[in-house]
Structure formats: structure tokens, C-alpha cells
Chain A
Amino acid sequence: MSRKTKTNPAEEEARPRGKKRRFGLSRRERAERFATSFYMFPSLAGVLTFFILPFFVVIYYSLIDDTSSGIFVGIDNFTRLFENSAFKLALRNTGLFSVTAVPLVVVLALALAVLLDANVPYKSTFRTIFLSPMIVPAASVILIWQVLFDFNGVVNSAISFFGGDPVEWLKSDYGYLVVVMLFLWKNIGYNMIMFMSALSNIPRDIIEVAMLDGCGPVRRFFSIKLRYLSSTISFVTIMSLINSFKVFREVYLLTGDYPFETMYTLQHFMNNTFANYEYQKLSSAAVVLCLIMIVIIGLLLFIDDRAGRGLDE
């Protein structure tokens, strides 16, 4: 991040002497700001219209009792939300999912990236294969997951072949496992590419000095590479966290509007609330989620900032 307008020797020279600077800016700088602000305008207008301004309305709705009367009720909507069993179930399921699936996807993606980084044959073929679920729409392969995990499905026939008892995968607590697998399948590739690019950006000379000093591959990974990867790790974690909120997609495609209890996600809750026009419930849920996300993202960025210290650039 270089501050172009502030430190600009060419411009200092070009400025005619004797002309007064208004607001501490040269005419040139003001012209630059003015002209570029037009480029920003369409995007800013759209973002304000569709996201930021209505979000203030959402906050307002979360604090009143009814959109027509508009009586301020403080945190009543929030207390009611936290008493709502559907919301609690959805929040618990989504939270549980994020807490388990996100670390899993980060670690697996990192492991695959490290393996591919270690000069294995057919590296680019493997990369393509691991990336393929990202290209294949989830909707396209969902049928196969049904064939695999249905009660009469393939996985169960394998289980009973080995003498086990068949499991109702999609209609029991195991449904959660199926969703984790889908999530991993879908997201590992994207994360792996981010790690691979970060791995290839680690300065080679540092690795080579370490090798000359007799530092083994395991130690090289844990004491050098991991430090350089820290900022990527936190970003991948954030992205995976957001993608874990999108897992509704797969659940919806797999089981429809009313899944088994353990697969009831926040998006199911939102969909049902939208369908009933319950603005207060909806708004307070959005505000709560937004706060949770801000806290988590802030925390991850803070950890990232701490871990990244000591590296140049």
C-alpha cells in the first residue's frame, strides 16, 4: 500500500510556485480525486442501495415491535430470538459444523498443497483433479450423493458386505457427516490453490539456507514455511468459514426444505422466516449473525497480525 498522492516527487516539482493550496492539496491532486470519484460512483451507489443503507433499516427493524406501528422495544426481539428453538437449533448446527469442518478443510488443503509442492509427478494433473469439484456445480452431482448415502445406497451395501449394520445416512445424526464430506469435497481445491500459491511465494533462499544448515523437511515446514503461510492460513480460514455458511446449498439440494434435525442450518431458518414475512425475527437474526461474523473475522485478523510479525514486507 503506497500512498501515491502524498509522496510524489514529480508532482511536487510540477506544481507552479505561488499558487495557493486549498485544504493542503494541490489543484492536480484535487482534480485527480474529483475525476476518480466518478469511477467509484456506480459501485458505491449500488452497494449503498442494496447492502449498506438497507442494513440500517434492518437494524431499525430489529429494534421495533412491528413495521407498521414502529414502537421501540429495545432488545425484546433479540431475547425472543434466543428463545426461539428453531434459531437455536440452526445456530448450534451451523456453529458446530463450522467449528469442525473449517479446521478440517484448512488442514487437509494445506496437507495436499504441501504434498504437491514436494515435486511429485503429475503435479498439475492432481491440481486439476482437486479443483474439479469447484467447477462441477453441486447441483449436478447431488444425485450421486443420494445414490451413495441412501438407505439402500452404495455405502450401506458396502457396510453390510463387511457385516456391519446399514445406517440411515440422510435421516439421522450421520447426516452431519455426509454434509461434512460434501463440504470438504467442494472446498478443498480452492483452498489448496491458495496454499500452493503462498508456498511458491516463500523466498527460496531462506529455504536453501535452512537446507544447508541441515534442517530437515519437517522442521523446514514447521519453523519456516508455516510462518510465511500464517496470513494465508487466516485468510483461508475466513473464506472457509464463509463457505461453511453456504453448506445450506448442498443440504437443500440433498434433502429439500425440511431436512433431518441435525442438518437444519441457518439458511433453512432464514428461508422459513422469509416465507412468513417475520421481519422482526429476520432482522434481529441478521444483526446477530453480522455481529458474530465481525467478532470472528476481527479475531482472525488480530491473530494473523500477531503471527505475521517479524517477517519483512
Chain B
Amino acid sequence: MTGSSSVPARRKKKITVGRVLFLFFAMTVLLTFAALFLFPTVFTVTNSFMSTTEITANYGKIFTGLGVAGSGGRVFIGEQVNLQLIPNKVSFSQYATVLLTSPDYLLKFWNSVIYVLPIVLFQLMVAAGASYAFARVHTKFRGIVFFAYIILMLMPYQVTLVPNYLVIDKLNLMNTRWAIILPGIFSPFSVFILTKFMRRIPSSVTEAAKLDGAGEHQIFFRIFLPLCQSVLYSVAILVFLDYWNMVEQPLILLTDEELYPLSVFLSKINQGDTGIALAIAVIYMVPPVLLFLYSEDYLIDGISYSASVKG
């Protein structure tokens, strides 16, 4: 979509002084931003390969200062923190600790998986059906419902978590995995994108199928779902990223820290053991990064589909 930027119709590109100046300016800006954007990530990854002694030597002042709460104010050390991008000695000791000796972190990682996978799967199933109903048949009622979905999608957590909380409480699901999973399944975001996509499927396609004797189920399973395959994948990635990062819901709907996903739990280890926190942070970004590397185009398409309220 964005790939075909060089239009053949454009006549021989003159290399003017203006163009060179522009390119110089553009590259400067872009490179500066790129460096700023990459820095935190690169830094996290490289530093996770430092041994504990190296980390303490470099950043000990910050994190011991944070950890000792009762020490009455901050100890001002003249020495500054030492920012080091590349470890002196590459060490896998942090990873070894995380993976082998302290199962607690892996448990939280598993918690994240257990929340996110069912949410992605069932949200897509539920949303695909709803979108089919919205896209195939227009009635006043469905128009109103779809509008309600958009409004709901645009509401911040501070609003939607309150009704969620009331229901979860009534159903006695507070502090269980269902408290996170059930509201997640019915999030209207994917309905919004899928409906917009399905509305673009020309009605001639369904008419032709009907003339050939296809029923609603066949039209849905044999025509709509296959046509939506790529957008379903795009939406799946967006939903995955959203819930992999969740913080608000677990904090309110779960009280037991054992049930916390890693996205919340990480803030708790940060203060204790920096090296381990770095390693677990890197492990935590592996699934989304892998997903991204294999399907960047889908992600970009997904974002592009969502780019306007109108159909």
C-alpha cells in the first residue's frame, strides 16, 4: 500500500539544491528521532547481559536508594550513575537466574499468556460474528447498537472499569482469572475494525453466493471469514499488544499478586533486583517482537484500517 511511492509517471527527477537540503534536513530529523526511539529498548537488551556486579557498579546508587524506604530521604552521592550501553563481559547469569532458579517470574509470564491468548481468540470469534451481522443487514436497531459500540470503544478505562467491577463483583468472579478474561472478550474494538472491513465486501458477492444456494452460515464461513483472513490477523495482533500491556484491569480486578500478569508485576521487581528485572523485561518483550518481525505488514494494515470513525 505505501510501497509504491515512486510513480512511473513522474518525469526524470531533477536533483536540485533544494532537494539535497531537504534530504539533509529530513535525515537529520529522522535519525535523531530514531536514536531517541530505539535507545530505551536497545539499552534494556544490552544491559540485561551484564552480571550483577557490573550492574551494581553502574546503577547501584539509583536502585539501592529506591529500595531502602525507611532510610529517611535520599543519600546524595557525589558520584553519578554510569550509563553503559555495552557490557564489559557478556553474561547470561541474569537469564539463568530467571529461567532456572526463580520460577516466580516465569509463573507471572505464564499468567500473561493465560490471560491474553483466550482473550485474543474469543474476542475475534465473538467480534467476527457481530461484525457479520452489522455488515450484512442494516436496520435502525443495528445502527444504534453499532454506534453504541463505537462510543464504548472510545471510553477510557476509568469509565468502563466501574461497570466491569460491579458485574464481576456480582458474579463472584473478583480475584479470579475470569475477571480479566471475560470483559476482555467483549471489548468492542475488534468489532469496529472488522465491521468496517466487512462492509467493503461488495453485496454482489453475497448475492451470487445466495443464487448458488448458499445459506447464511455458508456465506459467513465460506466467504466472509476467508476474505477477512488478513484483517483478522491484523486485529489479533493489535488486541494481543493491547492486552499484553494491560495494567489497569489487573490492578483493580485482582487483589492476589499471584494472579498478576507480568506487565504489572514488573514494576514490583524493578526496585529489588535490577539485573533480574532487565532480563525478565527482555523475555517479556520477546513474544510481541517476534510477532512484529513476522507480521509487520499486518500490524500496519490493522492500524490503517482503524484510521477513521467512518466506514
Contacts and interface: CB of A to CB of B under 8 A. Distances in A.
A260 interface: no
A43 B126 contact: yes
Given A36-B136, A231-B310, A253 B284 contact: no
A136 B22 contact: no
B244 A137 contact: yes
Interface in B42-81: 43-44, 59, 61-63, 65-66, 74, 76-77, 79-81
Nearest to B311: A1
B39 to A, nearest CB: 8
B228 to A, nearest CB: 13
B267 interface: yes
Nearest to B128: A39
A190 to B, nearest CB: 6
A5 interface: yes
A282 to B, nearest CB: 6
Interface stretch (A68-76, A77-85, A121-129, A219-227): A121-129
A235 B133 contact: no
Interface residues of B, number: 116
A267 B292 CA distance: 30
A251 B152 CA distance: 25
Given A58-B163, A246-B157, A185 B281 contact: no
A43 B267 contact: no
B166 A54 contact: yes
In this complex, which of B162, B167, B245 has the most chain A Cβ atoms within 10 angstroms of its Cβ? Answer: B162
Contact of B41 (A36, A40, A132, A270): A132
A6 B140 CA distance: 12
A241 to B, nearest CB: 9
B62 A147 contact: yes
A103 interface: no
A177 interface: no
A119 B5 contact: yes
Given A120-B27, A131-B299, A142 B307 contact: no
Given A55-B163, A140-B266, A147-B81, A193 B303 contact: yes
A146 B270 contact: yes
A144 B203 contact: no
Contact of A50 (B7, B167, B245): B167
Contact of B152 (A10, A51, A119, A145): A51
B186 A50 contact: yes
Contacts of A154: 81, 83
A136 B115 CA distance: 18
B185 interface: yes
A4 interface: yes
A138 B158 CA distance: 19
Given A135-B285, A157-B81, A37 B133 contact: yes
A304 B161 CA distance: 29
A36 B137 contact: yes
Interface string B198-219: 0100010011000100011100
A128 B148 CA distance: 34
A185 B129 CA distance: 36
Interface string B224-237: 00000000000000
Nearest to B30: A126
A152 B77 contact: yes
A88 interface: no
Given A46-B126, A156-B80, A249-B245, A256 B267 contact: yes
B130 to A, nearest CB: 3
Contact of A133 (B5, B37, B74, B148): B37
Interface of A: 1-6, 8, 10-11, 32-33, 35-44, 46-47, 49-55, 57-58, 112, 115-121, 123, 126-147, 150-154, 156-157, 160, 185, 188-190, 193-194, 196-198, 200, 204, 208, 231-232, 235-236, 238-239, 242, 245-246, 248-249, 252-254, 256, 266-267, 270-271, 274, 282-283, 285-286, 289-290, 293-294, 297, 301, 304
Interface of B: 1-2, 5-7, 9, 22-23, 26-27, 29-30, 33-34, 36-41, 43-44, 59, 61-63, 65-66, 74, 76-77, 79-81, 83, 126-127, 129-130, 132-134, 136-139, 142, 145, 148-149, 151-152, 154-167, 182-183, 185-186, 188, 191, 199, 203, 206-207, 211, 215-217, 220, 241, 244-245, 247-248, 251-252, 262-264, 266-267, 270, 274, 277-278, 281-282, 284-285, 288-289, 291-292, 296, 299-300, 303-304, 306-311
Given A120-B26, A131-B292, A139-B263, 14 more contacts: A3-B138, A43-B188, A43-B191, A50-B182, A129-B37, A136-B44, A139-B267, A140-B266, A140-B282, A157-B80, A249-B245, A249-B247, A253-B266, A286-B159
13 contacts: A35-B215, A39-B216, A40-B133, A42-B129, A43-B191, A51-B163, A132-B38, A141-B43, A193-B304, A197-B304, A235-B309, A242-B155, A267-B248
